[in-house]
Amino acid sequence: MTIDFSAVVDQAIMSGLTYEQLCSQQPDLKITRNYFHDRRYRLHKRGEAVPYYGDERAAKAANEQARGAGVLTAPSFTTDKKDGDEVSWREWCDWMESGQELRHEASYSQDAAHIEFPDVTRPICVLPFSDTHMGAWSADVRAFRQMTEEILSEPDLYLLLVGDLAEMAIRLRGVGEVTNQMIPPELQMRFVESWLQEVEPHVLAAVWDNHATTREEGASGYSRMADMLKRKFIYSDGIQHLDVTVATQTYKLAVSHRFRGASMLDPTYAQKRYMRFEGVDREACIQGDTHVPGMSKYTDGSMTRVAINAGTLHTKSLYARRFFSLYSHPDFPCLQLFPDRHMIVPYWNLNEWRSATKGAGPQGD
Ligand SMILES: [Fe+2]
Ligand SMILES: [Fe+2]
């Protein structure tokens, strides 16, 4: 025979008894705690006013009853407790906008710049210079010295600093990479700083790079290299649109350490892609980073365009020799910009530029 205790349990629940109280009053019931709570749930679902039970709920019920009877009134009080709801999203916008304005005022970086040579009568030569990786055992220090002396001796020659001037092996990917530095990062910065002081009159502009700028930013949120460059020169943290006016002619350049995209057959593919899809008004696009020199002069619709990829002085890079090539090319293609007619003439390196414009120059660029 099955005995139905439900009516007894329901009555006990509605009278406010807990499971323990019911069991102690009627020890013969032999019901489980789950059964008791299941009955409570059913009563509740049926819409019955199931009384609170347990310490907290009993206290809450007692309070509510007391309030209802007018025994308790809500107290008035003061406190230093903050009320976050008093601040609206509009106030957050006010604060963030003023912060952004202040940050903008305190920054040095540009996305676009216009440089003018109003009085020149001769063509100027613009040399993208990058990927010297000074500080690495495997960088060609002798070539760096020689190129710098040549740059300093040419009054019509201007540099675009396109990144990776220092090795800055600070990503800690391996001991070999770190110990391939002849001088530590701090001294690499001192070296570059000293070099910049001398070549400064020849520098048109500079851009970010991965070896110093993004590695330093990744490690500390701050780049000493970027700080040095942006305080001295027109500098871009990303892609730079640089207009250069040479007397009557304005040339529209785009410069970055690296543009998106790559082709195994054309070291200037990424630059061409950028001008086709993004920098559609640019007529020359320049990058470094890949260490594979390249230059193209070509038609793109109605435009005649030039794409330049800088070479490297990291000529004994073990990484390069292991993973892509036995050959590194210390050639830095440059651009001759004319003042009296709209013409860009690319040359493979300074030696070829000098040979073409001033007669035979020294060998070994
Ligand atoms: Fe590089
Ligand atoms: Fe790079």
Q: Find the ligand nearest to 287 CA.
A: 2
pLDDT of the residue at 53: 62
Instruction: Work out the end-to-end distance of the chain between its first and last CA atoms, rounded to an integer number of angstroms.
Output: 108
DSSP 233: S
CA of 269 to the centre of ligand 2 (A): 16
Residues 181 and 135: beta-carbon distance below 8 Å: yes
CA of 131 to the centre of ligand 1 (A): 4
CA of 297 to the centre of ligand 1 (A): 24
Q: Where does residue 210 fall: left (phi above 0), alpha (psi -120 to 50 degrees), or beta otherwise?
A: alpha
CA of 172 to the centre of ligand 2 (A): 16
CA of 293 to the centre of ligand 1 (A): 12
CA of 183 to the centre of ligand 2 (A): 19
What's the rounded Cα separation, in Å, for the pair 67 and 284?
81
pLDDT of the residue at 237: 95
CA of 177 to the centre of ligand 1 (A): 14
What's the rounded Cα separation, in Å, for the pair 294 and 307?
8
CA of 12 to the centre of ligand 2 (A): 80
Query: Phi and psi at residue 28, in whole multiples of 5°?
Result: -80, -10
Which residue segments constitute the domains of the chain, with CATH numbers given? 6-68 (no CATH), 108-357 (3.60.21.10)
pLDDT of the residue at 76: 61
Q: Which amino acid is at 138?
A: S
Helix (H) or strand (E) holding 229: helix 224-232
Residues 206 and 237: beta-carbon distance below 8 Å: no
What's the rounded Cα separation, in Å, for the pair 188 and 147?
18
Q: What is the DSSP string of 295-336?
A: EEEEEETTEEEEEEE---S-TT-HHHHHHT-S-------EEE
- Residue 61: both structure tokens together: 């019920």
Tens place of pLDDT for every residue, the chain, 365 residues? 566 788 889 999 898 888 888 888 888 888 888 888 888 888 888 888 888 665 556 666 666 776 676 666 555 666 777 777 778 899 999 999 999 999 999 999 889 999 999 999 999 999 999 999 999 999 999 999 999 999 999 999 999 999 999 999 999 999 999 999 999 999 999 999 999 999 999 999 999 999 999 999 999 999 999 999 999 999 999 999 999 999 999 999 999 999 999 999 999 999 999 999 999 999 999 999 999 999 999 999 999 999 999 999 999 998 888 888 888 899 999 999 999 999 999 999 999 999 999 875 554 44
CA of 162 to the centre of ligand 2 (A): 9
For ion ligand 2, residues whose CB falls within 5 Å = 164, 210, 289
pLDDT of the residue at 240: 98
- Residue 259: both structure tokens together: 């543009």
CA angle 329, 242, 188 (to 5 degrees): 50
